[in-house]
Structure formats: C-alpha cells, structure tokens
Structure 1
Amino acid sequence: MKKRALLTAVLCAVSAATISAAPATAAPREGTGRGEVRFATYNLSLNRPTPGLLREHLANPDVDDVYRRQAHNVAEVIQRAHPDVVLINEFDYDSEAARLFAENFLAVSQNGAPAQRYPYRFVAPSNTGIASGFDLNNNGVVDTTPGDQAYGDDSFGFGLFPGQYGMVVYSKYPIDARAVRTFQLFKWRDMPGNAMPADFYSPEEQAVLRLSSKSHWDVPIRVGKKTVHFLTSHPTPPTFDGPEDRNGRRNHDEIRFWADYVTPRKSSYIYDDKGRKGGLKPGQNFVIAGDQNADPYDGDSYQSAIRQLTEHPLVNARTTPASPGAAEATTLQGGANLTHRGDPRFDTADFSDTAPGNLRADYVLPRVGTKVAGSGVFWPVRADPLFRLTGVFDPQWSAVNGFPTSDHRLVWADLVLR
C-alpha cells in the first residue's frame, strides 16, 4: 500500500523545554487536569533515494528545494499535533539525521506553529536494504548492487540501501534505555504456525529470512512513576508480490508478532536481539503504534491481518481516530473509495483512487483499561488553511512522493494511563 519509491541503537538526550498549543486539527489538552499523554504515529516519507542524502538535507534547513520544503512541512504537522511521544516511519536509519531533524526542524517554529522539543529519541538499525545473499524474489539472480529494485527485493526488507525507510521514536518523557528491546533478527520460521509461503522460499532461505521488514521495537517510556511499553513497527505492504502473497503473509505475521507479544501465554517463543525470551508480563502498560499497512475491511491484507490487534481482548480499539478531511477526500476523489466497506472518516492514507483507494493504515492502540480522552487524524478539509500540509498529489512534489508531506497522515490519541 505504501509506494516503492525508487549498527548500533542510539539513545540521545537534548535540552528540554515545555511548549504547548491546540492546533485546529487536534483537541487541546492543557487545563484538563486529567494527565493525558499524547501518543502518535506518523509515516512522514522522509526517506531519500541515496544514503546520506537525508542527513545532508536536514543539516542545511535554509536551502530552498522540494526536499527541504517537505521536511519543513512534516515538522509543522508534528508541531500542530504536538504529541508527547511519536513514532516516525520512513526516516532513513541515521542517528545524526535524527538529531538534526529534532534540532533544526522540530525545535524551530514552522509558520508560527509551536516549536516542539523532544529530550529523548531512539533509533536503531533496520532490515531494509540489508543484503540477504539469497534470491528472495525468485527471479533467478541474487542482486548484490545497492540502488536498484532487484537489490531491494533480495534484501531482508525492501530498501535501495541499508537503513532506507527506517524508524525513529521521539519522546518528551524519559526512555528506559536499558530496558529497550529490539527484534530485528527474529527469524520468521521461529513463529509457530507462521504464514510463510514455504513452497516459494527454499529451505536455505527459510533458515535466514527475518520476520520484520524493518524492525520491531519495545521502547519503555517513563511517565512519572508509570512505564508504558511503546511497541513500534512498520510491517511490509501486502502488495508488490505474486500469487504466493509473500508480502501479504509477512505483513500478517508482523502484525501478529505484537498480538502474541502482549499475550503472556502466547509469547514464550519470542526472543529479542540480545537473546532474551518472552513478551510483556501480565498487567504491563503498552501502546502499539505504527504504519501497519493494513485496513480492517479494505485493501489487500491477508486474512484481515489488522484485526489480530483491533479485536484483541487486551487492546482498547473502541475509539477510532477520525478526521473530516478523510471523509471529504473519499467524496471528492471517488474511484475505488466508493466501493470500500470501511468508514472513510477513519482513513489515514491517501492512496491511488484506482486501487486500493484511501485506507486506514496507521494505528495508535493502547492496552485495554487505558482511557482514551481524545484522538484524531491530521487530515484537514480543503477549506482549512492547514490543508496545504496534506494537499493532493501534485507532480511538483514528484522528487519526494507527490505530496507536500506524505501520503500518510499523523494519527494521535490522548491517553490517561492507569
């Protein structure tokens, strides 16, 4: 569903500041006395076509070109939504680039939006663009040349170079660095009852193939005396394959990973990159976030993959983030959108109107028992002055992805922690 445009974890602390505002598309929190924490996820499409280019762009914010304008725009979206904790998807793996984005863009007001300062951030390697040494797309050739699609297809996760389409977590609350768990190396075959197409991959390929197309992270956030496990990932789109549906099946199991991880009786098979086994303990707080590339009703998902989370007994999915802009887009764009079964208000991504149409792909899902005080999707209607930050597909943005920011929208939820 997300288009295919053609190592060490880092935890950083920078100076703190408290700035708050109530953007037009996000509910205010100040003065409620309820102690909400705003969690968000945003696939902002800051990936770049070559290694090092993202760092170069973020190091020189005053250059006026389409790349820097996009970076300023996505920073403004984050400022308007002012999350306390946010997962960023599609940010090339580069700890220095993560620092530059925080300091040169998020901490600097964009068009009068309130600057946001995040004292803590977490970045770690991604499986994208890491050569597997195998012919994973079964085209008869093992591609070892970074920079072309065949190389990406033969990598552990699609990427034109190592780390493309990576992830970053920014937080205004401390991150428990020692307790962070990553699952980049977890093998797909080690998930009991997995959906891997065994007749497509050779035994040798099955032995090395990793489950996560990027990585899965458990990032514990300390909010006062409470700890919230921020469970973050970005499963592969369930497309760009053949009748074997290898990407659809992988997407399903990447989503299933968190469903099992939060269920103590099902998580014993899981191991992290340090060899520690198991998932969350009973009663531990969590928030699952990310571009899951799966809609509950529409699109190309394998066996309604996202329902493994939205219908999970330990997940609070009763409140669905919505926006008026998504509903308006369905009416104006028509096409495949008119055939969808899902409520268009809940869409979070503006995809091709021919197929698959706009979908709900991005999620912030807390543990059951966690009160959701408010939620939303940053998708303004066309009459809203902030519509310039989402816009419609325009060839002038083709160097990035065809949009002023991204084809995905920021999704947020205000949570009252137990």
Structure 2
Amino acid sequence: MVNRSGTYGLTKWLALLLLLGTAAQAETIRIATFNAALSRDYAGHLIRDVEQRDDQVLHIAALLREIAPDIILITELDRDPEGRALRGFIDLLAQDGLAYGYSFAGAVNTGQMTGLDLDGDGRFSGPNDAQGWGRWPGHYGMALLSRYPLGPTRTFQLGLWADATDTRIPVTEPAQVRAIQRLSSKSHWDVSVALPNGQALHVLAAHPTPPVFDGPEDRNGRRNADEIVWFLRYLNGEAIADDNGTVAALTDGPVVVLGDLNADPFDGEALRAPMLTLLAHPRLQDPEPTSTGAIIAGIGGANDTHRGPVAQDTADWRDDPGPGNLRVDYVLPDATLTVTDSGVFWPAPGDRLSEEATASDHRIVWVDVELP
C-alpha cells in the first residue's frame, strides 16, 4: 500500500485500510493527469519561476502533494533543452515528501517552425507557423513523472498528418503543407512503466490541439479529432511508425490513456465521434470521475446549455459567452484493471486548497487501480 502525502491522500489511504482490515491485499496505485498551466511566453521563464518559487508554481506543487499520484502526466509544462524546469519542479515536490525517481519529457512539436506561412499573415516565424502552436520550441511541453522505473518508450512526434489512416486533413490544404505538417500538435507517447507486480503498464499520452481558433474549414477541430483517433488506431493493433522508424503495433500488457485531450464528448466544439469511441473502447474503461466543485462552478452562462454531466467537468473556462466548463482531461485505465476510486480534485469555494486550485484552469483527474 502506497502511503500518500497530503490530507486528502492520507484520508483516502486510512479509509481504505479500515475497509480492508489486516488481511493481505493487492497494491493500489494512483494514476493522474493535470494540465498545470506551467507555460510561459518566453523560453527560460519557467526555469526562473521554478527556481525563484513563483506563487503559481508553489500552488501547483501543493495540489500535486495533496493528491500524491504514483504516475502523473503533466501537460503545459514548458520543456527546456537541459530539463532544468522539470528537474527543479521535481526537486520542489520532493521537499515535502512527494518523490518521483523517474521522469520522461520528450520533444514536442509546439514552437517547431515549419518554414511556411501557415496562417497567411506574411510572416514565417509566428506561433501559427509552427508544427504545433507555440512561441518557441518546447512551449506547452509535457512530462510523465513516476515513482516506478520507466522502460522502453516509443514517441510519435514526427508522423505526418496526411499519412494518418482515414485522415481528416482538409482537402484544401496545399500540397506543400501536406508534405510537412505533422499529426501531433505536441507528441504521442507510449511509455512503459515497470509496476510493482512485475507487469509493464503502457502509458499512452498526448495533448491534442484545441478544436477552436480556426475558420469554417475546422482545421483545428479536424486535427484534434485525428490526434484522438491515433489512440484508437494504436489500441486496435495498427502498426504505426515511431520516431526511430520502427513500424510496430502496441505490445501486450495493460494500458492507460492519459492527457488533456481538449475534447468533451457532449459539449464544446470538438467533433464528438472520436471521443465517444475512445470512451467506449473495449480495451479501456471510463471511471467517470467527478467532483462537487465542478457542480458548483457549472452554473450560469454557456454551462446552462450543456448536455454532459456537469460533475465530470475538468476545465474551468469562461462562462459568457462560452465555452463554459468542459470535460477534457482523462485517465482511462485498461479494462482488465480494477478501479477502486477516482475523482477530479476541484475543491468547492472555501474548501482547503480552493485558492490554490485556481492556479490552473484545469483540475487534477486521478484514478486508483488495484494491481492483480
């Protein structure tokens, strides 16, 4: 049994101990995802903010200590070439006992310039001209933190959008763009985690582009959909070329899909079918984590027209004129794993850490699974 730091995590742990008594039980691990909003407009500024203990950085660290995941994907965590921001943040977490001995933060497409004027503004170096929207290479990066050793990792940053199976790339896309535009706005990862029971857990991670900020061609909506469909292709056994040139299918073992997928299955502007299909995939299960805070926050403005379960919302976005709060962050474990608990850490106003929770416009989504 993992002893978790933080009042919230400790309470869950003690309650489980009381329930189980003294009998030997299988180990439970906590898996989470969090869009931490730790991105800055200029390269190197997150390094400065982490090292100077910026208030937002401290608030994000407090939230993570409270939930104390064993494995977590953090999105919107700027990536610098030397890994100083990530290393400093891991050190900050460890100061109060949340130690991550293993991490992975591969390269991302955000801020990687294409050399083309993708948005037609006469410039070739704006954030819209990058492979993924970003002001500099590594902007809006992501990192996987783990208490358990990381094994073989496959990354799928370089695959072309036009080469994706049944691609939705607009037919109006110029040939020179189709020849260089990558599918992943950041990257797609398959990271193997060595679990205490001897199994290897495949963490499938991504942070697709938001399906907004475009025109009637719905370019971003189409790309978001195809980035989500990548998971379906991989889960269905399609052999996909990784960044090392290896063409292979997903290997055996349990999986978990993690990330801010920027798609709500019922509301918002994302295409519905890919997200609904992923949630219903026979290889996965959807624990449908909830929070009381989301219910309280989901009143007024665009929220009043939403069809989806308000308690499952994970992002606190503008209510008027919209899009309102949405469910966009997901932890989807393998269908063979036993889920013992789940939640969205969204404190109600006045509750402990309610102020710290506003350090990001997303909330931590976590799922506890029992190892066989």
The residue aligned with 2:298 is 330
Q: Which moved more, 1:298-307 or 1:322-331?
A: 298-307
Deviation string, structure 1 residues 363-411 (Cα, Å, up to 9, x no partner): 0001112111100001011131221122xxxxxxxxxxxxx41000000
Structure 1 contact 25–376 (Cα < 8 Å) conserved: no
Aligned partners of 1:131 and 1:374: how far apart in 2?
A: 42
Pairs within 5 Å for 1:256-267? 256-264=229-237, 267=238
1:121 counterpart = 2:103:
yes
Deviation string, structure 1 residues 20-75 (Cα, Å, up to 9, x no partner): 236337862363533111000000000011001111121222xxxxxx00000000
Aligned partners of 2:275 and 2:10: how far apart in 1?
A: 25
**Which of 15, 18, 21 is the matching residue for 2:5?**
21
The residue aligned with 1:372 is 339
1:241 counterpart = 2:214:
yes
Structure 1 contact 129–161 (Cα < 8 Å) conserved: yes
Deviation of 1:307 (Å): 1.3
The residue aligned with 1:394 is none
The residue aligned with 1:409 is 363
Amino acid at match of 2:13: R
**Which of 99, 108, 122 is the matching residue for 2:95?**
108
The residue aligned with 1:395 is none
1:352 counterpart = 2:318:
yes
Deviation of 1:107 (Å): 1.2
Deviation of 1:272 (Å): 0.4
Aligned partners of 2:47 and 2:5: how far apart in 1?
A: 29
For this pair of structures, how many residues does the alignment match?
A: 359
Pairs within 5 Å for 1:10-409? 20-21=4-5, 23-24=7-8, 28-29=12-13, 31=17, 32=20, 33-61=25-53, 68-94=54-80, 95-103=83-91, 105-109=92-96, 115-137=97-119, 139-144=120-125, 151-176=126-151, 179-199=152-172, 201-224=173-196, 225-264=198-237, 267-268=238-239, 270-281=240-251, 283-317=252-286, 319-331=287-299, 334-354=300-320, 355-390=322-357, 404-409=358-363
Deviation of 1:96 (Å): 1.5
Structure 2 contact 74–143 (Cα < 8 Å) conserved: yes
SS at match of 2:27: coil
Amino acid at match of 2:254: N
SS at match of 2:258: strand
SS at match of 1:257: helix
SS at match of 1:39: strand
Report the RMSD for the aligned CA atoms in angstroms.
1.6
Deviation of 1:308 (Å): 2.6
**TM-score, normalised by the number of residues in structure 1:** 0.83
Deviation of 1:237 (Å): 0.2
Deviation of 1:19 (Å): 5.4
Aligned partners of 2:328 and 2:60: how far apart in 1?
A: 18
Aligned partners of 1:184 and 1:166: how far apart in 2?
A: 12
More strand by share: 2
Structure 2 contact 314–362 (Cα < 8 Å) conserved: yes
SS at match of 1:306: helix
Aligned partners of 2:7 and 2:230: how far apart in 1?
A: 35
Amino acid at match of 1:275: G
Deviation of 1:242 (Å): 0.4
Structure 2 unaligned regions, length at least 5: none
Aligned partners of 2:67 and 2:279: how far apart in 1?
A: 24
Structure 2 contact 254–336 (Cα < 8 Å) conserved: no
Aligned partners of 1:191 and 1:80: how far apart in 2?
A: 40
Aligned partners of 1:181 and 1:226: how far apart in 2?
A: 18
SS at match of 2:13: coil
SS at match of 1:249: helix
Structure 1 contact 22–29 (Cα < 8 Å) conserved: no
Deviation of 1:161 (Å): 0.8
Aligned partners of 1:341 and 1:304: how far apart in 2?
A: 15
Aligned partners of 1:251 and 1:296: how far apart in 2?
A: 13
**TM-score, normalised by the number of residues in structure 2:** 0.93
Amino acid at match of 2:34: Y
Identity %: 41
Structure 2 contact 265–272 (Cα < 8 Å) conserved: no
Aligned partners of 1:248 and 1:89: how far apart in 2?
A: 19
Amino acid at match of 1:329: A
Aligned partners of 1:26 and 1:136: how far apart in 2?
A: 50
Amino acid at match of 2:214: D
Structure 1 contact 25–380 (Cα < 8 Å) conserved: no
Aligned partners of 1:380 and 1:303: how far apart in 2?
A: 28
Structure 1 unaligned regions, length at least 5: 1-17, 62-67, 110-114, 145-150, 391-403
Deviation of 1:123 (Å): 0.9
Structure 1 contact 135–142 (Cα < 8 Å) conserved: yes
Structure 2 contact 36–76 (Cα < 8 Å) conserved: yes
Amino acid at match of 1:70: Q
